[in-house]
Amino acid sequence: MEPEDLNRRLEELKQRVNLIFKNIDCEAILNDVLRETPRTVLSKIIASGLSGRGGAGFPTGIKWQGAANADGKIKYVICNADEGEPGTFKDRQILDEEPDKVIAGMIICAHAIGAKEGYIYLRGEYAFLYRKLVSKCEEWNRFFLSNRNIDFTLFVRLGAGAYVCGEETALIESMEGKRGEPRNKPPLPVISGYKGCPTVINNVETLAYAVMIMSDGPEHFRSMGTKNSMGGKVFSISGDSPRKGVYELPLGMTLYEFVELLGDGDTKAVQVGGSSGTCVPRKKFADTIIGFEGVPTGGSMILFNSSRSMYHVLKNYLEFFQEESCGQCTPCRVGCQQLLKGIEAIRAGERPLSYLDRLRNLAVIMSVSSKCSLGQSLVNPFNSITGHFREEVCY
Amino acid sequence: MNKNISDAIDRYGNTRENLIPVMQYMVTQENWLSGEAMKEIADSFGISHAEVYGTASFYSFLNTEHCGKYVIRLCRTISCDMSEKAGILETLKNMLRISLGETTPDGLFTLLETNCLGWCHKGPAMLINDDVFTELTTEKTEDIIRGVVDNERKYCSI
């Protein structure tokens, strides 16, 4: 396709979704929503098929329902703005450009579950957004919530540089003033979360979509995407692409279509879902669907062209995980180190090529024995890269 | 008691969920958390020194070692790495005449690498304290550092 055609096609796709960055009157929508019963709000969110946009894809309505049904006088809503997955920056843009929509999403959730307090947990790297978000929250507290006698107050908490705090139970530990070490589940946070109270933790994008679902109706949201991946998705595009940036596109595209639009014509692999996601090689582009029926993603898409060494890419990921593993459970703490040392040793000729199979097995063991998704998901990049690019990793 | 600690506790309170905000306040005031400061914080919160140190050392933005007034954190994650981050690191090392993890003798700069800053489409990126700088080139990096130094000189001569 010619560049003009590509731009036109990309624009078409963006227009087909156009929810997150659409100009809307959040206050008017909230006035309508707050007149509805919590039960109606829940049923609409469930009917929309909205699932968590942070990467894990848990059905949002079911999560809210869990917290709504849980016993407890005090309940919390937390907006997870600890966007730390390598290659992801869409939440930063949403928070920067659409903070009202995110806050409105928190108010809708609070109404649905009966929460008294809401927190935005903002990652330390985004401290430059802190003042802005604090004043936005104060505005909403003063001019909207207290004016209408709604017993819900918004706060902002700043993280301090720890990737693992994006995991919801680690985030709660961090908010409680402790080391950000994930908890055992169950109990799930919707039963026992922040300070032991029922807590809903949603990604920035998920909350913003909740507003659009209440505004346009669940059917409109369902009409986009595919049977298993409803709605739009905000993607962060980086790496070897002439069109790096943030795009809202429908789910369900094939990687082939995606790469044609956003690649540089020489894409050899795409890392879908950041460092903890899967690396898809060119030969699989045509039959890989971006969405829950294919490769699920929190939105991070890193493109690699043929000039990139996949050994270098994998080593960079492993250095990242080794540093960010919280160290609490042995499979993850030791596993991350051993995978990194292992590929270095093979590369240096200190270990035979067959050692790679033992490392791949170790990654599988980590996926079943680690406490949280950090150690569990390392198998995705490790085994996809070493599987598809074995020669590059070894020589 | 250290005035900054009592200010922080007045502002945030001394219940456990405010431990991180209090430590963050200290880092903005003093650039780092000294052993003394952590002990005083622990005593004010009524928790053990080890609890405070354990929490502080978990988070990469809560410096438990002496740091310069300006902490440079260059993103080392994959997208920035692919946009020639290595060259920017060399520029910074040469200009500041320090290695990674070190602080300049005048106590102005500390040079660190960090994980994804969330500016992957505009790499290489770095933070200087809370300020973000993106799409770095050698010239741009030199200008930024010179700008900080000049500003500092002006400030000191007043």
> B8 with B53, same domain?
yes
**pLDDT tens, residue by residue, B17-26:** 999 999 999 9
**Residue B20 to residues A28, A175, A181: CA-CA distances in angstroms?**
37, 8, 14
Enumerate residues 6+ apart whose C-beta is below 8 A from A177: B15, B16, B17, B18, B19, B20, B55
CB proximity under 8 Å: B 118-157 to A:
118-123, 127, 130-132
Residue B64 included in any domain: no
**Residue A90 to residues A147, A171, A248, A275, B76: CA-CA distances in angstroms?**
32, 19, 9, 16, 19
pLDDT of residue A294: 85
CA distance A87 to B116: 7
| pTM for this predicted structure | 0.96
Q: What is the pLDDT averaged over residues A149-166?
A: 96
Which chain A residues are within 8 Å of B77, Cβ to Cβ? Answer: 86-87, 275, 316, 320
CA distance A362 to A332: 10
**pLDDT tens, residue by residue, A320-340:** 999 999 999 999 999 999 999
The CATH number that applies at residue B125 is: 3.40.30.10
> B35 with B104, same domain?
no
Q: Is A125 on the interface with B (CB under 8 A)?
A: yes
CA distance A95 to A170: 22
Q: Report the Cα B106 to chain-centroid distance in Å.
A: 16
pLDDT of residue A384: 97
Query: Would you say the ipTM is above 0.90?
Result: yes
Residue range A18-222 forms a domain whose CATH class is alpha beta
Q: Which of B18, B34, B58 is the last residue of a domain?
A: B58
User: Which residue does chain B place closest to A321, by CA atoms?
Assistant: B115
Q: Is B116 on the interface with A (CB under 8 A)?
A: yes
In the structure encoding, which two tokens stand for residue A365, read together? 């063991």
- Answer whether A328's CB lies under 8 Å from A182's CB: yes
Residue B34 included in any domain: yes
Q: Which of B29, B58, B87 is the last residue of a domain?
A: B58
Sheet holding A153-158, edge to edge: A153-158, A117-122, A76-81, A199-203
Residue A306, judged by CB atoms within 10 A of its CB (0-12, 13-18, 19+), counts as exposed
Instruction: Select from A114, A37, A117 the least CA-distant residue to A70.
Output: A114
In the predicted structure, residue A297 carries a pLDDT above the cut 90: no
Q: What is the pLDDT of chain A when averaged over all its residues?
A: 95
Q: Could you say which of B78, B121, B122 has the minimum Cβ distance to residue A86?
A: B78
Residue B63 included in any domain: no
- Look up the domain containing B151 and give its range: 70-157
pLDDT of residue B156: 65
Q: Number of structural domains, chain B?
A: 2
Under the banding of pLDDT at 50, 70 and 90, the label for residue B80 is very high
Phi, psi of B61 (to 5 degrees): -90, -5
Alpha helices by DSSP H, chain A: 3-17, 26-33, 38-48, 60-69, 90-97, 99-113, 130-139, 168-175, 204-216, 218-222, 255-262, 310-324, 330-347, 355-369, 373-377, 379-388, 390-394
In the predicted structure, residue B149 carries a pLDDT above the cut 80: yes
Cis peptide before B124 (omega within 30 of 0): yes
> B98 with B137, same domain?
yes
**pLDDT tens, residue by residue, B90-102:** 999 999 999 999 9
> Would you kindly state where each structural domain of chain A is located, as residue ranges?
18-222, 232-305, 310-394
In the predicted structure, residue B157 carries a pLDDT above the cut 80: no
Instruction: Select from A394, A321, A383 the least CA-distant residue to A353.
Output: A394
User: B130 and A128 in contact by Cβ < 8 A?
Assistant: yes
CA angle A158, B114, A380 (to 5 degrees): 95
> B26 with B94, same domain?
no
Cis peptide before A242 (omega within 30 of 0): no
Q: What is the pLDDT averaged over residues A48-76?
A: 95
**Residue A18 to residues A12, A22, A289: CA-CA distances in angstroms?**
10, 6, 21
pLDDT of residue A292: 85
User: B120 and A275 in contact by Cβ < 8 A?
Assistant: no
In order, the DSSP letters of A19-47 are -TT----HHHHHHHHTTS-HHHHHHHHHH
* Structural fold of domain A310-394: de novo design (two linked rop proteins) (1.20.1440)
Phi, psi of A288 (to 5 degrees): -110, 120
The structural architecture, per CATH, of the domain A232-305 is: Roll (3.10)
pLDDT of residue A40: 97
pLDDT of residue A394: 86
Under the banding of pLDDT at 50, 70 and 90, the label for residue A287 is very high
- Answer whether B44's CB lies under 8 Å from B5's CB: yes
**pLDDT tens, residue by residue, B17-73:** 999 999 999 999 999 999 999 999 999 999 999 999 999 999 999 999 999 999 999
> B54 with B74, same domain?
no
In the structure encoding, which two tokens stand for residue B13, read together? 């309170």
What DSSP character marks residue A140? I
User: A162 and B58 in contact by Cβ < 8 A?
Assistant: yes
CA distance A363 to A366: 5
> B144 with B103, same domain?
yes
> B111 with B148, same domain?
yes
In the structure encoding, which two tokens stand for residue B22, read together? 């209090």
pLDDT of residue A1: 73
Which chain A residues are within 8 Å of B53, Cβ to Cβ? Answer: none
Q: What is the pLDDT of chain B when averaged over all its residues?
A: 95
Under the banding of pLDDT at 50, 70 and 90, the label for residue A193 is very high
User: A160 and B59 in contact by Cβ < 8 A?
Assistant: yes
Under the banding of pLDDT at 50, 70 and 90, the label for residue A116 is very high
